[in-house]
Each structure stands twice: as C-alpha cells, then as structure tokens.
Amino acid sequence: MVVCNLNCPSCPLAYICIPLAIGAAIAFKRYKGKLQKRRFASQLGFLFISNAAFIFGATGLIYTYFYCWESPFALMACPIGVIEHAFADRTWYLLPYLIGFIAFVSIIFGRAACGWACPIGFLQDIVKGRKVEKRKEIDKKLRMMKYPILIAIPIASYITRALAYTDICPIGGLTATLPHLAIDPYGYTFTFFFYPKMINVAGFFILIAFITRGWCRHLCPVGAMMAQFNKVSVLQIKFYEEECIKCYRCAAVCPMQINMPYENQSGECIRCGKCIDACPKNALEFKFTWQ
C-alpha cells in the first residue's frame, strides 16, 4: 500500500500526481462563475474520495461514474466491472444492486455525476479538447456509439465468461494498469492485453485532445446508463423563456454542444452548469422539481 508522504522525488505515482496538480492549477482559471468554482471543488473532492481506500479500505459500494476498481486506492467498484462479473460469472444478484445504485443517484441528479464527480470527466475538463462545431451532424451520430458499447459489454462477458471489456478498457489502463506498473515495475505481470489496452489509452488521449468531453459524448458506457434519467430526474435545468434575450451564450459554452436553451433536458447534459453561469439574464437555473 502506497500512502502519500509528500516525498515526490521518491514516489512512483509522482508521474500522475504532479501533472494532475499542475493541470488542475492551470485549469482552475477556466472555471469561471460561481457554479464552476463549486464544481472544481467537487471534482477535486471526488478525485480524493475515489482513491480513499488507504483510509477506509475497499467499501463494496459502486461508483456512479467510470473509475477502475483495480486502481491502487479504489474505494468502490466500477459499474462496468459489476456488469461484467454478473454476466461472466452468472452472479445475477449483482444486477439489482448495481441498477439500484445507478438509478437512485441518477433519479435525483440525472447525469450530474459526469460533470461534478467523475475523475475522468475532471481530466477531460483539464485537457479541454477542441470543440467540434463544424462537424455537428457527424458528432450527433457518433454520440450513439456509447449505447451499442453498453449493450455489447454484457453480451461479450456472457459469451466469453471473462471480463472482456476490462481487458481492453482505456480507463482501467489509465487508472489501474499504469499506476500498478509504476508502483511495482519489476513485479508487474504483463498479459496479452497490455498493449491493446495501452493503444486504447493513447486513443483516449487523442480523442479528448480533439473533442471537448469526447469520451463522455461518444464512448462512455456509464454515461449511456445515466443519460436516460435526465428527463425524469429531480434536479433539472429550468428555462425561463420570458427572460431570454436569445444571445445563445449558453449554447456557446456548453461542452456537450447541446442546443441550449431549448434542449435543457437533453440526455447528453452533464449538469455542469456552465450555461447557467454564462447566461446574462438568469434565464437558466438549477431547480429540484419540488422547488
């Protein structure tokens, strides 16, 4: 177990922490607006919580975002890993546990975990890839890719009786394989899947460098699970049309390229609140349905 002793020169994980700390310090300037400052604090807090097993141990809870449970300090289980285990091992009792977790959080907050909690979302906000306005139509079609991926994962696990997606998962590669390799480079066991996984990690970075929140938009199967709840969640983005002056600053800042303010219930919305911060007339607002 590696615990931070603030001795970076001797720490094998410094290659993760130092760029992350520098990136976060640079990215903080981009978090403009009241909600964005809070979001930055929330993302930092969840990055810590996601890796807090060195305090609490592994809890048996499930992340409601994408994070690998084989990370050295993983506090909870990966939702995709739980699906795979259920289908590969025929441990069906895992499914209601998983669905209950995801549904409980998503029915309250919609897809807000993507915008406020997910460390992979945080990484994408730090990298801040280029937007893709010119290819809006293609982008819209490519967004559908995450749904077949979500459907293919249990099928592949059922047929192969293995964690077929985990073997090549770029998020697992980034948050588990590379840290384990850094901690114990001589004891690490390379499998057949190491290089395909590393190619996917490289592909992940290329994607997020070129497309803002490219992973969330196109490929994230956890985002696909939660997207369905945005229309019915308790937390909504309320649009006051009578206040709107149609300046479309909300649409301009949206990292998911949603046609705001009109698609305020879109399944693609990660509830980041950038549109709310950008609106000069307070025509958009986070509201719980009982308010």
State the Cα–Cα distance between residues 218 and 210, nearest whole angstrom: 13
Residues paired with 250 in a beta bridge? none
The answer to whether residues 244 and 258 touch, using CB atoms and an 8 Å cutoff, is: no
Least distance in angstroms from the C-beta of 284 to ligand SF4: 5
Nearer to ligand SF4, 147 or 286 (CB): 286
Dig out the tokens for 74 from the structure. 């993983």
Least distance in angstroms from the C-beta of 126 to ligand SF4: 16
Q: Considering only CA atoms, which of 40, 48, 42, 46 is closest in space to residue 4?
A: 48
Q: Considering only CA atoms, which of 37, 48, 97 is closest in space to residue 74?
A: 48
Least distance in angstroms from the C-beta of 121 to ligand SF4: 11
Least distance in angstroms from the C-beta of 278 to ligand SF4: 6
Nearer to ligand SF4, 158 or 248 (CB): 248
Nearer to ligand SF4, 94 or 260 (CB): 260
Least distance in angstroms from the C-beta of 168 to ligand SF4: 28
Nearer to ligand SF4, 54 or 288 (CB): 288
Dig out the tokens for 218 from the structure. 């196109």
State the Cα–Cα distance between residues 30 and 46, nearest whole angstrom: 19
Least distance in angstroms from the C-beta of 247 to ligand SF4: 4
- Asked, as a colleague might, if the bond just before 170 is cis with ω within 30 of 0, I would say no
Q: Considering only CA atoms, which of 258, 268, 272 is closest in space to residue 36?
A: 272
Q: Which residues bind ligand SF4 (CB under 6 A)?
A: 237, 244-250, 253-256, 258, 260-261, 269-275, 278-279, 281, 283-284
Nearer to ligand SF4, 85 or 143 (CB): 143
Q: Considering only CA atoms, which of 72, 94, 54 is closest in space to residue 80?
A: 94
Nearer to ligand SF4, 146 or 271 (CB): 271
